[in-house]
């Protein structure tokens, strides 16, 4: 009985935190405002070592910075025969090189659409895809799951359809138009340019390797204590020639809850072909989440990823994430989170094997706070 009550309290707290403020509701038109201020005090460092020479390069950083603060407006107009029109505009502040990550305001999400309960929703614009939901491991800042490198999780020109007419099931499909810049207007791909007057390296836009088009399909299913998710995506890249560069990616996520404990498994596989070059990669990530108190939980996961370019090089990644949070109020949460990631790189040699060529360690720990409105 106590565990059931605790679960109900946690659900109510989570729902309240996600609720938006209704600023207008009249004659079938509803306007909601929501957002959150997110800050983190962190210490991070990275080290790359050449195992052949023993030479290492280190970088260290500590900062009090923005950790994804945003605000947005959602509009919904009820139409005839259960249909409705909807729109969402969301702003963020991290368009900057400043260490505190508070900079220029830009539109992170901007989309409009039509829908109904019976037929589903279709939306157009700058938005996420179903692949954005293809992980269940909890994290606030240092998430390890590289799902966006397997299937695009968002785009600046996306058409997305979602059907939720069956209880517990969501089906989704999306098409991504060509994309050469991220949401902040920065080139997705760059290459080295000439040195500037101070002798510093400059970079220029490189159109090859940017997204030409993409599409994805996915499904989310919940039944009792089971949560199962799957997505497939196909991405074509620009090459600047008639050569083909494409990637097929698969993502899956399973979660099973027993009382206050949730066991999670996240998985991904991708095959990429660029001309004659072939790349295969996969990851597995077991994780957990334990609701210690109605207002506090601990969580963590392990990541193993293997990336191999045929007849060229390969890399193996091991990562660990551990965290805990506490809700001071239904709209306020504080957390402590840390990660440790090791990447070992190998280069193909003339004997048909691989030579251990580099080791990269990436560590970070942070104390953060989020205030929702």
* Average pLDDT across the chain, whole number: 89
Distance, C-alpha 279 to centroid of its chain: 22
The tens digit of pLDDT for each residue in 15-71 reads 434 568 898 999 899 999 999 999 999 999 999 888 878 788 988 989 999 999 999
Closest CA to 299 of 308, 311, 290: 290
pLDDT at 18: 53
Count other C-beta atoms under 10 Å from residue 56's C-beta. Answer: 11
pTM: 0.88
Residue 333 to residue 17: CA distance in whole angstroms: 9
Between residues 250 and 4, the one the model is more confident about: 250
197 pLDDT tier (thresholds 50, 70, 90)? low
1 pLDDT tier (thresholds 50, 70, 90)? very low
Residue 338 to residue 362: CA distance in whole angstroms: 11
Contact by Cβ (8 Å): 219, 229: yes
Q: How many domains does the chain have?
A: 1
Most confident range, picked from 176-185, 220-229, 341-350? 220-229
The tens digit of pLDDT for each residue in 85-126 reads 999 999 999 888 888 999 999 999 999 999 998 999 999 999
pLDDT at 40: 97
* Whether the predicted pLDDT of 188 surpasses 50: yes
Closest CA to 342 of 144, 57, 193: 144
Contact by Cβ (8 Å): 187, 205: yes
Give the mean pLDDT of 300-319.
Answer: 94
Which domain range does residue 106 map to? 2-372
Contact by Cβ (8 Å): 233, 214: yes
Q: 298 is written with which tokens?
A: 């601990």
pLDDT at 226: 97
CATH of the domain at 146: 2.40.160.10
Tokens 């698969």 belong to which residue? 250
Contact by Cβ (8 Å): 337, 323: yes
Please classify residue 273 by burial: count the beta carbons closer than 10 Å to its beta carbon, then call 0-12 exposed, 13-18 middle and 19+ buried: middle
199 pLDDT tier (thresholds 50, 70, 90)? low
pLDDT at 332: 97
Q: List CB contacts of 156: < 8 A, sequence separation 6 or more.
A: 126, 179, 181, 182, 183
| b/e per residue 7-43 (b: at least 16 CB within 10 A) | eeebeebeeebeebeeeeeeeeebbbebbbbbbbebe
Closest CA to 237 of 125, 115, 138, 152: 152
């Amino acid at each position: 009985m106590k565990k059931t009550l605790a679960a109900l309290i946690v659900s109510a707290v989570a729902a309240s935190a996600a609720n938006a403020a209704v600023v207008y509701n009249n004659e079938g038109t509803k306007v909601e405002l929501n957002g959150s201020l997110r800050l983190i005090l962190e210490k991070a460092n990275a080290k790359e070592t050449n195992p052949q020479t023993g030479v290492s390069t280190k970088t260290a950083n500590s900062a009090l910075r923005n950790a994804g603060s945003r605000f947005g407006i959602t509009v919904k107009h009820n139409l005839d025969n259960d249909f409705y029109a909807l729109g969402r505009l969301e702003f963020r502040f991290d368009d900057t090189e400043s260490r505190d990550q508070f900079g220029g305001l830009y539109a992170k999400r901007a989309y409009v659409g039509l829908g109904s309960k019976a037929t589903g929703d279709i939306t157009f614009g700058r938005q996420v895809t179903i692949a954005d939901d293809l992980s269940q491991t909890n994290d606030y800042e240092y998430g390890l799951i590289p799902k966006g490198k397997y299937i695009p999780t968002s785009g600046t020109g996306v058409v997305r359809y979602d059907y939720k007419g069956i209880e517990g099931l969501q089906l989704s499909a999306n098409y991504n138009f060509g994309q050469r810049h991220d949401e902040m207007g920065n080139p997705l791909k760059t290459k080295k340019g000439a040195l500037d007057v101070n002798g510093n390296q400059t970079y220029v836009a490189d159109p090859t390797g940017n997204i030409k088009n993409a599409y994805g399909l996915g499904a989310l299913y919940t039944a009792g204590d089971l949560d199962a998710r799957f997505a497939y995506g196909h991405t074509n890249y620009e090459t600047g020639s008639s050569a083909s560069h494409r990637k097929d990616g698969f993502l899956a996520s399973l979660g099973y809850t027993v009382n206050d404990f949730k066991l999670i498994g996240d998985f991904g596989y991708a095959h990429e072909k660029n001309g004659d070059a072939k790349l295969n990669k996969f990851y597995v990530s077991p994780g957990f989440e334990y609701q210690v108190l109605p207002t506090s939980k601990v969580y963590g996961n392990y990541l193993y990823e293997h990336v191999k370019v045929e007849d060229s090089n390969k890399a193996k990644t091991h990562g660990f994430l551990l965290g805990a949070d506490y809700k001071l109020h239904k709209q306020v949460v504080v957390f402590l989170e840390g990660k440790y990631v090791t990447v070992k790189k190998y280069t193909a040699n003339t004997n048909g094997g691989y030579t251990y060529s580099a080791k990269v360690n990436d560590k970070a720990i942070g104390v953060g706070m989020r205030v929702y409105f």
